[in-house]
Structure 1
Amino acid sequence: MLNELNTLESKISQVVALCHSLRTENDGLREQLAATEAENERLAERMAAARSRIEQLAELLPEFKA
């Protein structure tokens, strides 16, 4: 009986350690995701600004007549 309780205690300790490890990893992944989403938003804004600037420049070009 004591041996079974010791085995159970060991398994519970392993599960607790695994949960802690997974929680830590999950927190890190959430931070990475937030940083990636922020970078994605910044790049999307830069692309929109570049697109707008290209459209403005295209309007200044004379029309090509064949």
Structure 2
Amino acid sequence: MNSELEALEARIDQVVALVHQLRAENEVLKNQMVAAEAERLHLRQTMTAARERLEVLMDKVPEDA
């Protein structure tokens, strides 16, 4: 009976360690996702600004050219 309890305790320790590891990995992934979303937003703003500048330049080009 004692060995069964020790085995169960060892298994519980393994599960607890795995939970801690997965929580840490999840936190890293959340941070990466936030950073990727911020970068995506920045790139979208950059593309919008570039498109607006191109439209202004295109409006200045004569139709005959």
Please name the residue that 1:15 is paired with. Answer: 15
- 1:64 shift after superposition: 3.0
Structure 1: which 5+ residue stretches go unaligned?
Answer: none
* Identity within the alignment, %: 49
CA distance in structure 2 between the partners assigned to 1:46 and 1:30 by the alignment: 24
Return the letter of the residue paired with 1:6.
Answer: E
Please name the residue that 1:51 is paired with. Answer: 51
Please name the residue that 1:2 is paired with. Answer: 2
Structure 2: which 5+ residue stretches go unaligned?
Answer: none
CA distance in structure 2 between the partners assigned to 1:30 and 1:2 by the alignment: 42
- 1:56 shift after superposition: 0.4
Cα RMSD for the two superposed structures: 1.0
Return the letter of the residue paired with 2:25.
Answer: E
TM-score when normalising by structure 2: 0.96
Please name the residue that 1:62 is paired with. Answer: 62
The number of residues matched between the two structures is 65
CA distance in structure 2 between the partners assigned to 1:58 and 1:11 by the alignment: 69
SS in 2 for 1:63: coil
2:38 matched to 1:38?
A: yes
Return the letter of the residue paired with 2:5.
Answer: L
